[in-house]
Amino acid sequence: MRYYPAAIALSLLAGVTASVGQAKGGDPVDPRVMALVAGGNDLLGKGDVPGATDAFEAALAIDPGSVPATVALGDAARKAGLQGKAIHYYRLALAREPDNLDAIAGEGGALAEKGALDKAKRNLSKLEGLCGRNCTETASLNAAIMRGPAARVVSADSVKPEPKVESN
């Protein structure tokens, strides 16, 4: 009886370890997901952000755990100027695959566009540690950091017209 608590703890540890090993998925097996992601990337390259977003969301409807579709959805949100939403998608992908180079670079680029250059530089150093200074992800993130924050959208409240009085 005195080994009973230790035996339960070890069995729980073995069960959790086994379930985590089963939960990790590689690339999506379903070819429909890869076709939708490829089609969405084509649309995104042509500038059709809503069409690309629809394709990526359809891919996620088929396979909700698809990391490529989640990263691509982050790319579409970033291209639409929604950096906060893009960071959310990149972090979802990083939760599933912590060393995904595209997600790290995308998150860093979105952070740089928002003005969080220190956090973007942390992503850059992580990328340099994973793939070196010469990989395309490192180069694209370094370029995004060099460009700096994106121009802010001007709201109607910040621009107040001068009142002009005219006589009739």
115-129, pLDDT tens digit by residue? 888 888 898 888 888
Mean of the pLDDT values across residues 141-145? 85
What pLDDT, on the 0 to 100 scale, is given for residue 10?
59
50-86, pLDDT tens digit by residue? 999 999 999 999 998 899 999 999 999 999 989 999 9
Domain at 28-98, CATH from 3.30.70.2500, 3.40.50.620, 3.40.50.720, 1.25.40.10: 1.25.40.10
Higher pLDDT, 165 or 27: 165
- Domain boundaries along the sequence of the chain: 28-98, 99-149
Given pLDDT bands bounded at 50, 70 and 90, which one contains residue 134?
A: confident
Given pLDDT bands bounded at 50, 70 and 90, which one contains residue 130?
A: confident
pTM comes to 0.71
Given pLDDT bands bounded at 50, 70 and 90, which one contains residue 28?
A: very low
Mean pLDDT of the chain, nearest integer: 82
What pLDDT, on the 0 to 100 scale, is given for residue 11?
63
160's tokens: 């107040």
Mean of the pLDDT values across residues 7-26? 53
